[in-house]
A and B are shown apart, each in its own frame.
Chain A
């Protein structure tokens, strides 16, 4: 293998695939990146067996070939080089790659490319495409609500429901639920529901930042793998098997009290109370008070830590319905408030032990439900 490419391009390519490489693994080769010189391009592949990222870098190929080298080492070295031409050479019958740029040179011991796990090819099944921005927004608004513990694997993923020209992303960790709906650019033939690992979608979201073009999504027939095709990269992911809980029954169909407040104000006073809530199981209490003819309605947010103290903040609100009390984990509130673009949000509640709903005002494609905390009032 013999090729040359620009440091800038190689560095960008490594940045795209790098995070898909395994960090610790019982299969050491998954900590490597595959470099394959083919058809006048350099292909880079990394996989942790859950997802695989591939990207292509423009290069001048003098001799085809392939090898794998430790991801961390390669990335750190390439990133430390100046933006000039890099020559990469793999002498035949050797796994030691020579990397040379001007007066800098290194050799890195690799592992045979034959041993690198093949990236599954995903075709047939459900094929569609979606605007990058829409997909990115959707991921941002749901991914944080996935479970991080492995006790219920389906909750560590994001449920993706493809139907007609709509894609619904749903995430839940047992305490909160986020549902985001977006338009697809092309309708899917059949309805499909799959659970995509949150890690994959977060990684995809990172790559979407640089892209204007739509993303092509393919789910295979067995619904075991998904492929996301971007402009210069591909991400293939295993899908989580199992059935996502029936979340529709958790979303309240009505409310007895609804308060519309300023998102930033709400976020600010929630964070303020969370300072005290740290020592009180994270509990913040919301008191929603309707206004009268002369006074506006208000929402009071407070936290009380037995041995430390407490705080109370209030903000104006447009309140519809009767006075209401509800307590939440401060983090669940601030998590959702921090990802909203809209200036105003509605909070809808019924009883102190029924789920509360967070609804950005002016859009109907996003809903967030938080289970309250049971407290003594």
Chain B
């Protein structure tokens, strides 16, 4: 059976939510991010701001320089989360096969569900209408027989668009597109491919699979099949959390060890609390650092036994940080921590180490105090530097 997959993406999501709260922002360049005098980045820019060259991820200071007349708004995630949740609820009314990709986009497999509406395009219009009526937000919808093409289609028809790639026309649609439109192809891959004389998705599709495999490994075969319009991935609700991460960009680039370690402690405390909340244990701890020159590195350790103990997680992350930071260190711009290789409640019991159980009790006690008196009611001494 030919599948019918939607990729639904809300347009300039954060900005649009801000506009529903403050209609004065309509038709003006609006940028949602942090405080421009500090180190934040652009989270979302209105379409009026984009001609100035502003895009998500750009440092706010640069955005301010490019478009000083823009209205800068500090992001308020509580509003966005609420809108996001309602957006997903609306989608779920049309098909149970929903896969949220991020706060403002999702795949929806509507195969078979489009019939009562007459066609998939008519169904998509109804979805858009409901989103607009209930949330005052516009969405762009790509329709195709597989996920990757649906995603490219929604990207091409933004904002407030609707684009269907009919079954059998995948190649016609993909071939002329530049490489960068293919999900998964980042700057580096694009550069390498261009050096090989490849500029469009169509050209990539005709490369021998072997060449791609040799050059890019497993990833090469994946993008090669995408370029050929082949993508068998199912639309599926995320089967449990795969990883938990948190990162922070500093107000000012920093190389002070105490400050970095304190920040790391804060992040570890945060992710391990979430880990316990989800009733999971993690086996892999990943440290991420971005230097002042934007060079980004990750370092990871796999623990012998999965853990959910804050102390163990912080200790592991701290060893990683200390090992990574050498003598003459560039200032750090961003620090992040990720817990992965998650497993459920199961845990290996320890033989001698009574400390583990003590730490576990400590985590529990801290959680109880925070639940009762708020998250900031109790902080650990290490956090004093931040």
Q: How large is the interface on A (under 10, 10 to 19, 20 to 34, 35 or more residues)?
A: 20 to 34
The complex places the Cα of A193 from the Cα of B238 at a distance, in Å, of: 54
Residue among A177, A355, A369, A373 making CB contact with B348, cutoff 8 Å: A373
Closest-CB distance, B36 to chain A (whole angstroms): 45
Report A-chain residues with C-beta under 8 Å of the C-beta of B305.
Answer: 175
CB of B361 to closest CB in A, whole Å? 15
Is the beta-carbon distance between B343 and A250 smaller than 8 angstroms? no
Question: Is B374 engaged at the interface, CB distance under 8 Å to the other chain?
Answer: no
What are 17 A-to-B residue pairs whose CB atoms are below 8 Å?
A172-B352, A174-B351, A176-B351, A177-B351, A245-B352, A247-B351, A250-B351, A250-B352, A280-B343, A280-B346, A281-B343, A371-B349, A374-B347, A374-B348, A374-B349, A375-B346, A376-B344
List, in ascending order, chain A residues with CB within 8 A of B304's CB. Answer: 149
Cβ contacts A163-194/B at 8 Å (1 or 0 each): 00000000010111100000000000000000
Beyond the given pairs A373-B346, A374-B349, 19 more chain A to chain B contacts, judged by CB atoms under 8 angstroms and listed by A's residue number, are: A172-B351, A175-B305, A175-B349, A175-B351, A176-B351, A246-B352, A247-B352, A250-B351, A281-B281, A281-B348, A283-B346, A307-B239, A369-B351, A371-B350, A373-B348, A374-B347, A375-B345, A376-B344, A376-B345
Complex Cα spacing A245 to B355, Å: 13
Interface membership of A329, Cβ < 8 A: yes
Residues of A within 8 A of B281 (CB): 281
A-B contact count (CB 8 A): 54
Contact with B along A356-377 (1 / 0, CB 8 A): 0000000000000101111110
Within 8 Å of chain A (Cβ to Cβ): is B353? yes
A372 contact set on B, CB distance < 8 A:
349
Q: Which residues of B contact A177 (CB under 8 A)?
A: 351
A247 to B296, CA, bound (A): 46
Q: Which residue of A lies closest to B239 (CB)?
A: A307
B319 — nearest CB in chain A belongs to which residue? A151
1/0 per position for B93-108, CB-CB distance to A under 8 A?
A: 0000000000000000
Asked if B306 is at the interface of the complex by the 8 Å CB criterion, the answer is yes
A327-B306 Cα distance, complex, nearest whole Å: 16
Closest residue to A370 on the B side, CB-wise? B351
Most A C-beta atoms less than 10 A away, residue of B304, B347, B351: B351
- Does the CB pair B352–A374 fall under 8 Å? no
Q: Is A342 an interface residue, CB under 8 A from the partner? A: no
Point out the residues of chain B lying under 8 angstroms from A355, CB to CB.
351
Selected from A172, A281, A353, the residue in CB contact (under 8 A) with B306 is A281
Q: Give the residue name and chain of the A residue nearest to B283 (CB).
A: A281
- A174 with B345: CB separation less than 8 A: no
B: residues with CB less than 8 A from A are: 239, 281, 283, 304-306, 343-353
Query: Would you list which residues of chain A between 294 and 315 have a CB under 8 Å from chain B?
Result: 307
Please, which residue of chain A has its CB at the minimum distance from the CB of B350? A174
Closest Cβ–Cβ distance, residue A175 to chain B (whole Å):
6
Of listed B305, B347, B348, B353, residue having the most chain A CB within 10 A: B348
Give which listed residue, B283, B344, B346, B349, contacts A353 with CB less than 8 A. Answer: B349
Complex contacts, B348 vs chain A, CB 8 Å: 175, 281, 329, 371, 373-374
> Which residue of chain A is the closest to B316 with respect to CB atoms?
A151
Chain A residue nearest to B343 in the complex (CB)? A281
Give every chain B residue within 8 A of A373 (Cβ-Cβ): 346-349
Bound together, the chains give a CA A375 to CA B349 distance in angstroms of: 10
B351 and A281 contacting across the interface, CB-CB below 8 Å:
no
Q: A353 CA to B344 CA in the complex, in Å?
A: 17
B304 to chain A, nearest CB (A): 6
Q: Which residues of B contact A353 (CB under 8 A)?
A: 349
Per the bound structure, the CA–CA distance linking A48 and B304 in Å amounts to: 27
Minimum distance in angstroms from A251 CB to a CB of chain B: 10
Chain B residues with CB below 8 A from A371, complex form: 348-351
CA distance A175 to B305 in the complex (A): 10
Which A residues lie within 8 Å of B345 (CB)? 374-376
Q: Which residues of B contact A307 (CB under 8 A)?
A: 239
Cα-based distance from A88 to B305 in the complex (angstroms)? 52
Nearest CB on A from B155, distance (A)? 31
Q: Mark A269-282, 1 if CB is under 8 A from B, else 0.
A: 00000000000110
Give the distance in Å from the alpha carbon of A281 to the alpha carbon of B348 in the complex: 9
* Complex Cα gap A219–B349 (Å): 35
Give the distance to chain A from B282, nearest Cβ to Cβ, in Å: 11
- Complex A-B, nearest 9 residue pairs according to Cβ-Cβ distance, in ascending order: A245-B352, A371-B349, A281-B343, A375-B346, A374-B347, A371-B351, A373-B348, A174-B351, A281-B346
Residues of A contacting B347 with CB < 8 Å? 373-374
Tell me how far the C-beta of B230 lies from the nearest C-beta in chain A, rounded to whole angstroms.
23
Q: How far is the CA of A245 from the CA of B305 in the complex (A)?
A: 20
Q: Give Cα A375–Cα B348 distance, bound, in whole angstroms.
A: 9
CA distance A369 to B346 in the complex (A): 20
Q: Are A174 and B353 in contact (CB under 8 A)?
A: yes
Q: Which residue of B lies closest to A244 (CB)?
A: B352
Provide the residues of chain B in CB contact with A369, threshold 8 Å.
351
The smallest beta-carbon distance between A215 and chain B, in angstroms, is 30
Across-interface contacts of A250 in B (CB, < 8 A): 351-352
Which residues of chain A are near B306, meaning CB under 8 Å? 281
Cα A307 to Cα B236 with chains together (Å): 14
CB closest residue in chain A, given B315: A151
CA distance A355 to B351 in the complex (A): 8
- Residues of chain A with a CB closer than 8 A to B353's CB: 174
Min CB distance A304 to B, Å, is: 10
A280 shortest CB reach to chain B, Å? 8
Question: Least Cβ distance of B223 to chain A in Å?
Answer: 25
Determine whether the beta carbon of B349 is less than 8 Å from that of A174: no
- Residues on the A chain within 8 Å of B351, using CB: 172, 174-177, 247, 250, 355, 369, 371
Tell me whether B346 and A374 are in contact (CB under 8 A). yes
Which residue on A lies nearest to B345, using beta carbons? A376
Complex Cα gap A172–B353 (Å)? 12
